[in-house]
Amino acid sequence: MAVGLAAAALPVNLLAKEKEEEEEVSTNEDLMREHGILKRVLLCYDEVIRRIRARQDFPPQTVTDGATIIRKFIEDYHEKLEENHLFPRFRKAGKLTDLVDVLYTQHQAGRRVTDRVLSAVASLKSQDDRNRLADDLAAFNRMYAPHEAREDTVLFPELHKVVSPHEYDSLGEQFEKIERQTFGGDGFDIYRDKVEAIEKQLGIYDLAQFTPK
């Protein structure tokens, strides 16, 4: 009762400010907005694929930068969260184990494709080189669009059945801590800015251009 009265006495805008400073992001929201960054890199890859197939130019740096986001933010961070904190809990609970096996295998396959993309883009000499790069980017997109959609709609919702509400909350806090340690700040903000810069270079940042007339 006393706490309620104290809170009621605080100006509304001050309460809102305090809430903003805490900015608690739940476990699934955290993972899903990381998928949003992944999706935006896939869209950059799509634009590069389109240009290669149309024999148009593109800045190779956009591919290097995109693949570097994938490496540092998705493969070495986001997927590690899934592999170290989610997959073992599903395996232990005996839930969605076939799906978890496929997701894990795809992480490893994705890393091999990213290795190839990074080395290919560093030595693009002929149209054959560009076509091979387009094939790798396309294979990456073909796998990751359904991969992340399956996690969003099947794996993550099921997490609520595998862990208690308390464990779910503390997982989110753990993820925040790992994120700060890994990136020295809010990795999501850092990498959202990076993907935005690539979109601007490729001319796909302006959202309104995609609205059908």
In the complex, the smallest distance separating the C-beta of residue 158 from Fe ion, rounded to whole angstroms, is 14
Task: Specify the stretch interacting with Fe ion by CB under 5 A; choose among 63-71, 76-84, 121-129, 205-213.
Answer: 76-84
In the complex, the smallest distance separating the C-beta of residue 163 from Fe ion, rounded to whole angstroms, is 17
Q: Which residues of 89-104 are buried (b: 16+ CB within 10 A; e: fewer)?
A: ebeeeeebeebbeebe
**Closer CB to Fe ion, 36 or 59, in the complex:** 36
Task: Specify the stretch interacting with Fe ion by CB under 5 A; choose among 78-86, 129-137, 182-190, 204-212.
Answer: 78-86
Task: Specify the stretch interacting with Fe ion by CB under 5 A; choose among 17-25, 81-89, 173-181, 187-195.
Answer: 81-89
Number of residues near Fe ion (by CB under 5 A): 3
In the complex, the smallest distance separating the C-beta of residue 212 from Fe ion, rounded to whole angstroms, is 30
**Closer CB to Fe ion, 41 or 120, in the complex:** 41
CA angle 21, 86, 101 (to 5 degrees): 150
Q: How far apart are CA 16 and CA 166, in angstroms?
A: 25
**Closer CB to Fe ion, 152 or 186, in the complex:** 152
Task: For residue 135, give Cα distances in angstroms to 11, 141, 157.
Answer: 58, 10, 33
**Closer CB to Fe ion, 34 or 47, in the complex:** 34
The residue with tokens 């992001």 is 25
In the complex, the smallest distance separating the C-beta of residue 99 from Fe ion, rounded to whole angstroms, is 10
Region for residue 206 given its phi and psi (left: phi exceeds 0; alpha: psi -120 to 50; beta: otherwise) = beta
> What part of residues 12-51 is at the interface with Fe ion (CB under 5 A)?
none
In the complex, the smallest distance separating the C-beta of residue 44 from Fe ion, rounded to whole angstroms, is 18
With beta carbons less than 8 A apart as the criterion, state whether 144 and 38 touch.
yes
With beta carbons less than 8 A apart as the criterion, state whether 114 and 45 touch.
no
In the complex, the smallest distance separating the C-beta of residue 28 from Fe ion, rounded to whole angstroms, is 11
Residue 210 DSSP one-character state: G
151 counts as binding Fe ion under rule CB under 5 A: yes
Task: Specify the stretch interacting with Fe ion by CB under 5 A; choose among 6-14, 16-24, 82-90, 120-128.
Answer: 82-90
Give me the 99-118 binding string for Fe ion, x by CB under 5 A, dash otherwise: ----x---------------
Q: How far apart are CA 80 and CA 78, in angstroms?
A: 5
Q: How far apart are CA 99 and CA 152, in angstroms?
A: 13
* Residue count of the chain: 213
Alpha-helical (H) ranges within 122-186 are 127-150, 156-162, 165-183
Q: What is the contact surface with Fe ion in residues (CB under 5 A)?
A: 82, 103, 151
